[in-house]
Amino acid sequence: MSHSISLTVNRARQAVDINACLSLAVALDGAVIETIEGLADGKTLHPVQAAFITHDGFQCGYCTPGQIMSAVGLLREGDAGDDPERIREGMSGNLCRCGAYVGITEAVAEAGRTYSNRFMRFSSSRQR
């Protein structure tokens, strides 16, 4: 799911990860949309962004936004934790032409170990 975005539908207040390139903007009318640009809190990186830097989970940067947003979604769902096999399975729709998969898996595992689910949710200021 490269270049995914996360959105929260106002009525349900439920985060749903979708593939941005397969979504019509008009279908998202009324939704709160979170992209890679909105993850950081000012100058403080989101925990997954920080883990990607720590573990060199990127090289050229082309797939990095989609990888990070998918990692946030995966951890938000609570399905992977820090299990490398479950992380690889959950991230399997993302392609990295540089082969940074080891760093990506390590970054997601660290975020899964270190940060509670509350860090993976939308901030209350973004929910309307």
Res 110: pLDDT: 94
Res 84: pLDDT: 93
Residue range 82-87: mean pLDDT, rounded: 91
Q: What type of residue is 103?
A: G
Res 81: pLDDT: 80
**Model-level pTM?**
0.80
Q: Which residues pair with 6 in a beta bridge?
A: 17, 34
DSSP character for 62?
S
Report whether pLDDT(123) > 50.
Answer: no
Q: Order the strands of the 31-34 sheet from edge to edge.
A: 14-19, 4-9, 31-34
Cβ atoms 63, 97 nearer than 8 A: yes
Report whether pLDDT(39) > 70.
Answer: yes
Res 127: pLDDT: 41
Report whether pLDDT(57) > 80.
Answer: yes
Contacts of 87 (CB under 8 A, 6+ apart): 74, 80, 105, 108, 109, 112
User: Which two structure tokens, joined as six digits, stand for 9?
Assistant: 């539908």
Classified as helix, coil or strand, 120 is helix
Residue range 64-86: mean pLDDT, rounded: 88
Res 12: pLDDT: 64
